[in-house]
Amino acid sequence: TDFDSKKKRKVAEIYQALNSDPIDVATLRRMAISEGGLLTDEIRCKVWPKLLSVNTDDLPPLPAGKELREGNKDYQQVLLDVRRSLRRFPPGMPDDQREGLQEELIDIILHILKRNPQLHYYQGYHDIVVTFLLVVGDRLATALVEKLSTHHLRDFMDPTMDNTKHILNYLMPIIDQVNPEVHDFMQSAEVGTIFALSWLITWFGHVLSDFRHVVRLYDFFLACHPLMPIYFAAVIVLYREQEVLDCECDMASVHHLLSQIPQDLPYETLISRAGDLFVQFPPSELAREAAQQQAERTAASTFKDFELASVQQRPDTVLRQRFRERLRGEERTKSILTKPRTNRFVKLAVMGLTVALGAAALAVVKSALEWAPKFELQIFP
């Protein structure tokens, strides 16, 4: 069939990129993003390390579990989470095989934490590690997850949730760009973004029941900018536009609806849509709005107004002044944002643009390094 010949062509192209000297990482990224992703676990074992630039020639041996576990402050929590992770293993896997993998899972996590004391374990981390373990085996999984933990997942592994919340703050500005009606409805319902927390910190591993969909998303995320999972979260919400707008406009109802993720999502369509949105509204453009959301939520910012007003005892003048400043700020932001907003009702007719453009999408992916006004937001150390 046509599909099979397309698949064969893609496999050939992937191997050609792997065998070229130097390895053609740009092509590998494009293959991981484009329809079907990397196709098989055998290919993932070869390509994932290249996407994370991990050298597979000299992987360190894993230490014995016993010495890792004794006196380890995270051991009990990791043990609890791993014991609860039954449904992350293929249905029908024999118990003893699964139990063996769970032991390996605990060791990988403790090993990475021991080698990187700056990283803090969070619940949900094991959902990411188990995905790598099942695809590439324990030694390679350890190397890949360690690299990922100091890069893509770094923000989730801080002692506080501040940076994770900051990343969640990108969700509403993206939705607002594409569909102001859904955005305003969600704001009125005061639903917030916590419904997407487990999606984000597990790269959807925790919420999708079909393992094939999980690894397809991992292909995509590994090839892209660290913020891509939040674009994917936005695309899921936008895809469910009608359900959202038909919902009761209150926090409990909307939160309940959104946190139950449908299992039959059109993944390929959504992946290419997320890529398109990233191209249209890169993080650096949304950074100011995300920072604004953060600022409006913190007591510190409202306290400043309060303090100013009480010092001058003329609250109206202070507030008027603040309001004027804010309007000026909004005018500035508007001028940045109106360009894309005017055409967004085309409902992103550029579907699949990322895949077709290839090179342009990669340019965006590469901009991962210089994204967002870093000094202002301190996202990555």
Residue 15 pLDDT greater than 70, yes or no: yes
Distance between CA atoms of 163 and 159, rounded to whole angstroms?
10
Residue 223: enclosing H or E segment and its boundaries?
none
Residue 368 pLDDT greater than 60, yes or no: no
Quote the pLDDT of residue 85.
86
Three-state DSSP state, 152: coil
Domain identity same for 152 and 165: no
Question: Where residue 369 falls among pLDDT bands split at 50, 70, 90?
Answer: very low
> Which two three-digit tokens encode residue 346?
């085309």
- R_g of the chain, CA atoms, integer Å: 22
Residue 309 pLDDT greater than 50, yes or no: no
Residue 325 lies in a domain: no
Residue 104 pLDDT greater than 90, yes or no: yes
CATH number at residue 297: 1.10.472.80
How far CA 235 is from CA of 63, 91, 135, 181, 311, in Å, comes to 41, 29, 26, 15, 46
Domain identity same for 28 and 173: no
Distance between CA atoms of 308 and 305, rounded to whole angstroms?
5
Domain identity same for 169 and 308: yes
Question: Where residue 378 falls among pLDDT bands split at 50, 70, 90?
Answer: very low
Domain identity same for 144 and 30: yes
Q: Which residues of 283-300 are buried (b: 16+ CB within 10 A; e: fewer)?
A: bebbbbbbbbbbeeeeee
Query: pLDDT > 90: what percent of the chain?
Result: 63
Domain identity same for 127 and 251: no
Q: Is the peptide bond between 22 and the residue preceding it cis, with omega within 30 degrees of 0?
A: yes
Quote the pLDDT of residue 301.
43
Domain identity same for 171 and 285: yes
pLDDT tens by residue, 234-285? 999 999 999 999 999 999 999 999 999 998 999 999 999 999 999 999 988 8
Quote the pLDDT of residue 69.
86
Is the torsion defined by CA of 364, 365, 370, 373 positive or negative? Answer: positive
Domain identity same for 182 and 114: no
Read off the pTM.
Answer: 0.78
Quote the pLDDT of residue 304.
46
Residue 312 pLDDT greater than 60, yes or no: no
Domain identity same for 181 and 88: no
Residue range 283-308: mean pLDDT, rounded: 63
pLDDT tens by residue, 111-150? 999 999 999 999 999 999 999 999 999 999 999 999 999 9
Average pLDDT, the chain: 81
DSSP at 64: P
Q: Any idea what the Cα angle at residue 226 is, between residues 120 and 261, rounded to 5°?
A: 85
Total domain count for the chain? 2
Q: Which of 22-26, 55-59, 320-324 has the lowest mean pLDDT?
A: 320-324
Distance between CA atoms of 84 and 117, rounded to whole angstroms?
25
Domain identity same for 18 and 148: yes
Residue 375 lies in a domain: no
Residue 165 pLDDT greater than 60, yes or no: yes
> Which two three-digit tokens encode residue 42?
């055998």
Residue 374 lies in a domain: no
Q: Which of 87, 121, 156 is the last residue of a domain?
A: 156
Domain identity same for 179 and 142: no
Residue type for position 122: Y
Domain identity same for 104 and 224: no
pLDDT tens by residue, 16-38? 999 999 999 999 999 999 999 99
How far CA 316 is from CA of 281, 307, 313, in Å, comes to 37, 13, 9
Residue range 198-224: mean pLDDT, rounded: 94
Residue 178 lies in a domain: yes
Q: Which one has a higher pLDDT value, 340 or 176? A: 176
Quote the pLDDT of residue 42.
96
Distance between CA atoms of 55 and 177, rounded to whole angstroms?
40
Quote the pLDDT of residue 162.
87
Residue 335 lies in a domain: no
Quote the pLDDT of residue 329.
59
Complete DSSP assignment for 113-175: HHH-TT----TTHHHHHHHHHHHH-HHHHHHHHHHHHHTTTGGGGSSSSHHHHHHHTTHHHHH
Residue 293 lies in a domain: yes
Domain identity same for 123 and 199: no
CATH number at residue 72: 1.10.8.1310
Residue 214 pLDDT greater than 80, yes or no: yes
DSSP at 91: T
Q: Which residues of 64-101 are buried (b: 16+ CB within 10 A; e: fewer)?
A: eeeebbeebebbeebbebbeebeebbeeeeeeeeeeeb
Residue 68 pLDDT greater than 90, yes or no: no
Is the torsion defined by CA of 216, 211, 116, 67 positive or negative? Answer: negative
Q: Which of 156, 181, 212 is the last residue of a domain?
A: 156
| Domain ranges, residue 250 | 161-312
> Which two three-digit tokens encode residue 311?
């010092």
Residue 173 pLDDT greater than 70, yes or no: yes
Distance between CA atoms of 305 and 316, rounded to whole angstroms?
11
Quote the pLDDT of residue 33.
94
Residue 135 lies in a domain: yes
Quote the pLDDT of residue 297.
57
Residue 355 lies in a domain: no
Question: Where residue 62 falls among pLDDT bands split at 50, 70, 90?
Answer: confident
Q: Which of 267, 291, 312 is the last residue of a domain?
A: 312
Question: Where residue 158 falls among pLDDT bands split at 50, 70, 90?
Answer: very high
Question: Where residue 328 falls among pLDDT bands split at 50, 70, 90?
Answer: low
